[in-house]
Amino acid sequence: MPAGMAIPMLPADARLDFDFKGGVTDKRLFPWDVWRRCVNQALRTQQRAGGGVAAYRDPGGEQELRLGVSRYLAFSRAVVCNWQDVVVTQGAQQALDLVGRVVIQPGDVVAVEEPGYPPARALFAALGAKLAHVPVDREGLIVDRLPKHARLVYVTPSHQFPLGMPMSLARRVELLEWAKRHGAVIVEDDYDGEFRFEGRPVESLKSLDRAGLVAYVGTFSKTLFPDLRMGYVVPPESLREPLWTAKRAGDWHSCMLTQTALGTFMLNGEFAKHLRRMHKAYAKRRAALIGLLTDELGDAFEPMPATAGIHLVAQLAPGWDEDDVMKAALDASIGVYGIGPFYAGERREQGVLIGYGGASVEAIEGGFRRLATLMPGLRR
Ligand SMILES: Cc1ncc(COP(=O)(O)O)c(C=O)c1O
């Protein structure tokens, strides 16, 4: 497989004393009793739907959930939309797939961030796109480096994946202007922007979009858990109908039971409550991690500036090598993950990605104190 197209994973049964994998969330803090009630209620709704005749549902999704999402987006991301504008998908990944299917013709150029998110790259490549890997700097995607003929630009502006910095407002405006000039579609993947720990939120691209260019993609994989497989897309008006049709062509619609349960969870205020609880927990973990990286591992690591998300990248100082660190950490039963695989070309930074979604403060302290004992011996 070409570089930058897959997230390296340990075998599913690998058990480490401390694992700081990215992309996982903490199910231990999820309100299972509340969820169980929502699912039970959804079962009753499902039983009654259609008056005893089972039939297919709206490909766009269940109204309750779409309403919950549209209200949430208006409130938290200033994305003004009606419930009919929301298409419910099987995670963000299916949202990217649907947008790709309706926008890209084989051979079209799709611009992705470098370094970037391998599953999005692999998907666009599978749809026949030619990928243009556009570098990012501390302000996000470097708009000047976009190829003129890109048909679609895929970005992660709240929390650049994997490095973490938010895209600056100036760059957002520049990107929107660029897309307008070149007739390109922008996919804004807002995968974990809910968890913002510093500063005021920068306006989402979707909220700044006056020309109807942005497909806003969201997911419940970080706010709830990834095995729920729930996400959504708010496309520009011009793509609404084609996306709805593509969803129907692909799988008719997402699971009614999960959608209905999640709709109730959102409209009853439980989602907002859960986000507040998780925000507090993740903020403590993040503070503990940054404290340890700075105080006990400051010679070797420098956390990259990130204001949001549930992982961060710590850059390695000259003298240490990412692969050596990862291997020694694994030998000591600690999972930290190099950022090399997120580059399609030559890597420009050496560093490790540290997920704190699934690790308690105690685990962070235990893991990073253990790592601190290894680092001096790894200096080249
Ligand atoms: C950049 C990015 N987008 C989206 C997702 C979530 O994808 P999905 O909703 O398909 O689980 C992730 C998960 O790690 C991610 O890192």
Tell me the CATH number at 23: 3.90.1150.10
Q: Can you tell me the distance from the alpha carbon of 135 to that of 299, in angstroms, rounded to the nearest whole number?
A: 27
In a domain, 78, yes or no: yes
pLDDT tens-digit series, residues 197-227: 988 888 999 999 999 999 999 999 999 999 9
Distance from residue 191's CA to the centre of ligand 1 (Å): 6
Residue 13 confidence (pLDDT) above 80: no
Q: Atom of ligand 1 at shortest distance to CA of 22?
A: 14
In a domain, 73, yes or no: yes
Percent of the chain with pLDDT over 90: 89
Residue 172 confidence (pLDDT) above 90: yes
Nearest CA to ligand 1 atom 5: 191
Distance from residue 229's CA to the centre of ligand 1 (Å): 10
CA distances from 185 to 93, 131, 159 (A): 17, 15, 20
In a domain, 12, yes or no: no
Residue 75 confidence (pLDDT) above 80: yes
Q: Can you tell me the distance from the alpha carbon of 46 to that of 52, in angstroms, rounded to the nearest whole number?
A: 10
Q: Can you tell me the distance from the alpha carbon of 154 to that of 229, in angstroms, rounded to the nearest whole number?
A: 21
**Radius of gyration in angstroms for the set of CA atoms belonging to the chain, rounded to a whole number:** 21
Mark whether 105 and 184 lie in a shared domain.
Answer: yes
In a domain, 7, yes or no: no
Residue 339: strand, helix, or coil: coil
Mark whether 190 and 117 lie in a shared domain.
Answer: yes
Q: Atom of ligand 1 at shortest distance to CA of 23?
A: 14
pLDDT at 255: 97
What confidence tier does 142 reach under pLDDT thresholds 50, 70, 90?
A: very high
**Structure tokens, 305:** 């500036």
| Nearest Cα residue to 219 out of 117, 305, 323, 320 | 117
Which of 228, 250, 269 is the last residue before a domain boundary? 269
CA distances from 268 to 52, 274, 377 (A): 27, 11, 53
Residue 5 confidence (pLDDT) above 90: no
Task: Determine the average pLDDT of the residues in 146-175.
Answer: 96
In a domain, 10, yes or no: no
Per-position DSSP letters for 215-260, written without gaps between them: EEEEESTTTT-GGG--EEEE--HHHHHHHHHHHHHHHSS--HHHHH
What confidence tier does 285 reach under pLDDT thresholds 50, 70, 90?
A: very high
Which of 237, 252, 269 is the last residue before a domain boundary? 269
Distance from residue 98's CA to the centre of ligand 1 (Å): 15
pLDDT at 182: 97
- Under a CB-based contact definition with an 8 Å cutoff, are residues 58 and 253 in contact? yes
pLDDT tens-digit series, residues 308-347: 899 999 999 999 999 999 999 999 999 999 999 999 998 8
Mutate which of 161, 163, 195, 313 for ligand 1? The one with the most ligand atoms within 8 Å of its CB, which is: 161
Task: Determine the average pLDDT of the residues in 12-21.
Answer: 87
Mark whether 228 and 160 lie in a shared domain.
Answer: yes
Residue 242 confidence (pLDDT) above 90: yes
Bridge partners for 250 per DSSP: none
Residue 114 confidence (pLDDT) above 90: yes
What confidence tier does 362 reach under pLDDT thresholds 50, 70, 90?
A: very high
In a domain, 13, yes or no: no
CB atoms within 10 A of CB 28: 9
- Dihedral sign from CA coordinates of 337, 342, 344, 349: negative
In a domain, 8, yes or no: no
Distance from residue 226's CA to the centre of ligand 1 (Å): 8
Q: Atom of ligand 1 at shortest distance to CA of 117?
A: 1
Mark whether 241 and 276 lie in a shared domain.
Answer: no
How confident is the prediction for the chain on average, in pLDDT? 95
CA distances from 367 to 61, 288, 294, 345, 361 (A): 42, 12, 15, 31, 10
Q: What is the CATH number of the domain that holds 248?
A: 3.40.640.10
| Nearest Cα residue to 138 out of 178, 165, 110, 118 | 165
DSSP 103: H
Mark whether 96 and 69 lie in a shared domain.
Answer: yes
- Under a CB-based contact definition with an 8 Å cutoff, are residues 122 and 149 in contact? no
The range of the structural domain enclosing residue 315 comes to 18-29+272-378
Nearest CA to ligand 1 atom 15: 191
Q: Atom of ligand 1 at shortest distance to CA of 161?
A: 1
In a domain, 5, yes or no: no
pLDDT at 35: 98
Kindly report the backbone phi and psi dihedral angles of residue 363, in degrees, each rounded to the nearest multiple of 5, phi listed first: -65, -40
Among the residues of the chain, which ranges form H helices?
32-48, 63-77, 91-103, 118-126, 169-182, 205-208, 237-251, 256-267, 270-295, 322-331, 361-378
Residue with tokens 């979707």: 206
Mark whether 64 and 89 lie in a shared domain.
Answer: yes
- Under a CB-based contact definition with an 8 Å cutoff, are residues 64 and 267 in contact? yes
Mark whether 25 and 36 lie in a shared domain.
Answer: no
What confidence tier does 2 reach under pLDDT thresholds 50, 70, 90?
A: confident
pLDDT tens-digit series, residues 80-97: 999 999 999 999 999 999
What confidence tier does 290 reach under pLDDT thresholds 50, 70, 90?
A: very high
Answer with the residue of higher pLDDT: 164 or 4. 164
Residue 274 confidence (pLDDT) above 80: yes
Nearest CA to ligand 1 atom 6: 92
Residue 149 confidence (pLDDT) above 90: yes
CB atoms within 10 A of CB 89: 29
Residue 159 identity: H
Ligand 1 proximal residues by C-beta, below 6 Å: 23, 91-93, 117, 156, 161, 189, 191, 219, 221, 226, 231
Measure the CA dihedral 100/7/234/58, to 10°.
80
**Structure tokens, 192:** 């974990």
Mark whether 346 and 234 lie in a shared domain.
Answer: no
Mark whether 360 and 281 lie in a shared domain.
Answer: yes
Q: Atom of ligand 1 at shortest distance to CA of 91?
A: 9
